Amino acid sequence: MAPPSSSAGPRVLGIDPGTRVVGYALVEARGRAAFRYLECGVIRPRAADLADRILEIAADMEEVIDAFEPAELAIERAFAGKNAQSALKLGQARGALVLAARRRGLSVFEYAPAAVKRAVAGHGRAPKRAMQERVAFLCGLASLPPADAADALALAICHVFGRGAA
């Protein structure tokens, strides 16, 4: 993938972190609260051991970063859920993803899930299906992206909308 053209703004990488599935999406800022869709997908590590999955996730994300050359990362803010063990595992994966991004020089921005839903869908309690439909519409996609990729797209779009001018 070629570096951004001079008329384009920065490329934004959105990441929906996880230990089993990581959603990622790339958009290019295009002026005030506008963007161009580039790519979205999921990373599904095959390793059984958590440490090996995290290593695989970080390596795969570094490949995505190297291929698309984003300048900024939008990632879901860490939150304490009902299950402390799940939150700790998610925190490890999230930390590895942030480390991979920072090692490649990306600026990191965090967003609460409700803030992302508000920015993209108009209210902070939008269900997953509504978010998939909204990001597909905003990006001009012919089909709905996988839920984790849609969440990553929503993060990237939220970041662009919040940037003001690119």
Q: Known catalytic residue: 151?
A: no
User: Is residue 107 in a domain?
Assistant: yes
Is position 154 within any domain?
yes
Share of the chain above pLDDT 70, in %: 92
- pLDDT exceeds 90 at position 70: yes
pLDDT above 90 covers what percent of the chain? 82
Q: Would you say residue 15 has pLDDT above 60? A: yes
Is residue 148 part of the annotated active site? The answer reads yes
Q: For residue 4, is it within any domain?
A: no
| Domain count across the chain | 1
Name the pLDDT band for 165 (thresholds 50, 70, 90).
Answer: very low
> Residue with structure tokens 């090692």?
103
Q: Taking Cα atoms as reference points, which of 143, 111, 113 lies closest to residue 128?
A: 113
Close Cβ partners of 41 (under 8 Å, ≥ 6 residues apart): 23, 24, 25, 146, 149
On whether residue 5 sits in a domain, the answer given is no
- Is 73 within a domain? yes
Residues 95-115 have a mean pLDDT of 96
Q: Which of 24-38, 58-72, 94-108 is predicted with the least confidence, judged by mean pLDDT?
A: 24-38
Residue of 16, 28, 72, 151 with catalytic role: 16
Q: Clarify whether 76 is annotated catalytic.
A: yes
Task: Mean pLDDT check: name the lowest of 10-24, 113-127, 138-152.
Answer: 113-127
pLDDT at 103: 97
Q: How confident is the model at residue 31 (pLDDT cuts 50, 70, 90)?
A: confident
* Domain-located, residue 6: no
Q: Which one is catalytic: 49, 52, 110, 148?
A: 148
Task: Tell me the CATH number at 79.
Answer: 3.30.420.10
Average pLDDT over residues 49-54: 98
Q: How far apart are CA 150 and CA 111, in angstroms?
A: 15
* Averaged pLDDT of the chain: 92
Q: CA of 99: how far to CAs of 37, 54, 102, 141, 156, in Å?
A: 25, 11, 5, 30, 18
Q: Which domain holds residue 92?
A: 11-163
In a domain, 81, yes or no: yes
Catalytic residue among 60, 76, 110, 151: 76
Within a domain: 85 = yes
